[in-house]
Every structure is written in C-alpha cells, then in structure tokens.
Copies of this chain bind each other. A is one copy, B any other.
Amino acid sequence: MKIDPRCVHCLLSRVHYQAMLLTDDTDTINRAVMAGLDALHRTYRQGEPAARISTAVHRSAYRAMGDRDPYREKKKLSRRLAVELMPLARSLVGDEVSEEHFRRAVVAATIGNTLDFGVDGFDVNEQHFEAEFRRLFDGGLDVDDTGRLIHLLDDVVYIADNSGEVLLDTLVLEQIRGMGGKVTLVVRGAPMLNDATIEDVEIHGIEAQVDRVLTTGSNAIGVCLDEAPSELVEAFEGASLIISKGMANYETMSEYGYRPIAYLLRTKCQAVADDMGLDTDMLVAKLVEQ
C-alpha cells in the first residue's frame, strides 16, 4: 500500500501520542515530534510505500526518546484485557474443530485487532470492551472469505499484529492445527508501537501451540523483507497460505505479491479502507489468490 496524504498528520499524531505515553517532559516530547517531522519531511513522497515512511518516522522518534518502549504499559494493559476476554471468546467460538468453528475463531481474532491504541479515534474503552466484543461477534465479518481458506491450511505462516491480540489469534491457530495444518507464527523482531514481540509469545506460552515462531528481524512497521531473516522469506515462499493480521502488516505484505494471502483486520483508518476498496470499521477476512 502506498502512502496517502492523510497519513501525514496521523503519523505525527501517533508520534506525539507515544511521546506523551513515555513522559510529560516537554523537551523530550518536542524532540520526538521534531524528529518525526524531520523524518517525514525527508521521506514523504507520493507513491512511496506507506510503511517505509512510517518506519522512518517512528524510528527517528524512538531514537529521539532514547529508544525506550513507550507502549510498555499499554501492552501490559492489552495483554491483561486479552487474558480477561479469552474465556468469553473461547465460549463463543466453541471447542470443536470445523469450518464453522474456524470461521468463529477468525471473527474472534479479528475483533482482537481492535485491541489497539494510538490510532486516531480508536482507543480501547476498557470498561465496555467485553460488551463491545459480544456486539462485534454477533455482527460477524463484513468480508468473509473463511470458507475459501479451509483448503489452504496445510502450512500456514501467521503474521501477528498487536500485544494482547496475539492471544486471541491462538483460537485460529488451534483450529488450523486441529485440522492437521502446520503453523509458523511471526512476531515483530523488536518493540515498535504496541506490536507483539517474542515477549508476548513467552508471556502467554504460545510456543507450545505452534510449530515454529519466527520474527520479522527488526522493529520495522509491518514486515520489511530487506530486514527479515532468510527463514522468514523461505517460510513465505513455501507457505500454503499466509495470514496477515492488522493494518501495518497489510500495508507491507500488499507490496510483495505473495499468494495466496489472507488479510484479517479491522479497517481502522480511511486510508487502509480505501486501499482495500472497503469502508472503515469493518471486520475483514479477505483472501487474495491472484
């Protein structure tokens, strides 16, 4: 996906937001914003891949803040919320393995993609998240290609998105493995925003539920192939299906042409929704085969 003019202010709004998460020191906040502004000014060109620019912006801002992890507390909160939600999510999905249960697991995991912070107008409302989860589950998927995924699950590479959310992803991983499929789970190589890293896999004990865990090899937004370990590139090339979770992974994976690939996400911003030909606030499980 290419950068959209509306990404400009959104990116700088996220830089400001994450600086405020880290500190109330005006100088540090200002340094982060100026570094983000500088990187954006240096890299922003129409037609440029969105994630190349957002990676440059966030890395500059992180460096200006001393490379600390401003989302640390937000990630803890997301993990806690996810743990609290799991009994409800599991009861809604059910224990059996079938096409219908797979679909329900995808719905639950895709709702998990709303466990996000810092996207304009899309912060988690802790108090009402369980009720919101039920409401979204009842509404189901707005784009539902799950029926076409069923026969592609032999050897799946599953690219996780956010902390917390990755726990809900395990409902889908269980279905895939229950049907005899292999799963390679991919998380970010180092902290970036509230993205899931190997720390999340360890905290939730997810290693035991997959065949292999790989990382993207860096803290780039989404997946940057230039920075990815060769095992990951080989896994993409050999997969029966890549499942890409969330908007940042969509932004990058949509640039590479791997097929078949399924995008599971909530369309949280207009730029991504437009690029997918969809509306905002949709729950999406979209397969791209050609």
Contact residues of A with B, CB < 8 Å?
5-6, 8-13, 15-16, 19, 26-27, 29-30, 32-34, 37-38, 40-41, 44, 46
Which residues on the B side are within 8 Å of A32 (C-beta)? 5
Question: Could you tell me if B8 and A12 are in contact, using CB atoms closer than 8 angstroms?
Answer: yes
Residues of B within 8 A of A33 (CB): 5, 8
Q: Which residues of B contact A26 (CB under 8 A)?
A: 5, 46
A197 to chain B, nearest CB (A): 26
28 A-B interface contacts by CB (under 8 A): A5-B19, A5-B26, A5-B29, A5-B30, A5-B32, A5-B33, A8-B12, A8-B16, A8-B33, A8-B37, A9-B9, A9-B11, A9-B12, A9-B13, A9-B16, A12-B12, A13-B13, A26-B46, A27-B46, A30-B46, A34-B44, A34-B46, A37-B37, A37-B40, A37-B41, A37-B44, A38-B41, A41-B41
> Residue of B at shortest CB range from A13?
B9
The complex is assembled from copies of this chain, and their number is: 2
Across the interface, name the chain B residue whose C-beta is closest to A46: B30
- How many angstroms from the CA of A46 to the CA of B27 in the assembled complex? 9
Contacting residues, chain B, for A15 (C-beta < 8 A): 9
CA distance A9 to B36 in the complex (A): 11
Q: Given known contacts A5-B30, A13-B13, what 15 new A-B pairs fall within 8 Å (CB)?
A: A5-B16, A6-B16, A8-B12, A8-B37, A9-B11, A9-B13, A26-B46, A27-B46, A30-B46, A34-B44, A34-B46, A37-B37, A37-B41, A37-B44, A38-B41
Q: Which residues of B contact A29 (CB under 8 A)?
A: 5
A40→B30 CA distance, assembly (Å) = 14
Identity of the chain B residue whose Cβ is nearest the Cβ of A6 in the assembled complex: B16
A40 CA / B9 CA spacing, docked (Å): 12
A40 closest partner in B (C-beta):
B37
A-B pairs, 10 with minimum CB distance: A9-B12, A9-B13, A41-B41, A5-B33, A9-B9, A5-B30, A30-B46, A5-B29, A8-B12, A8-B33
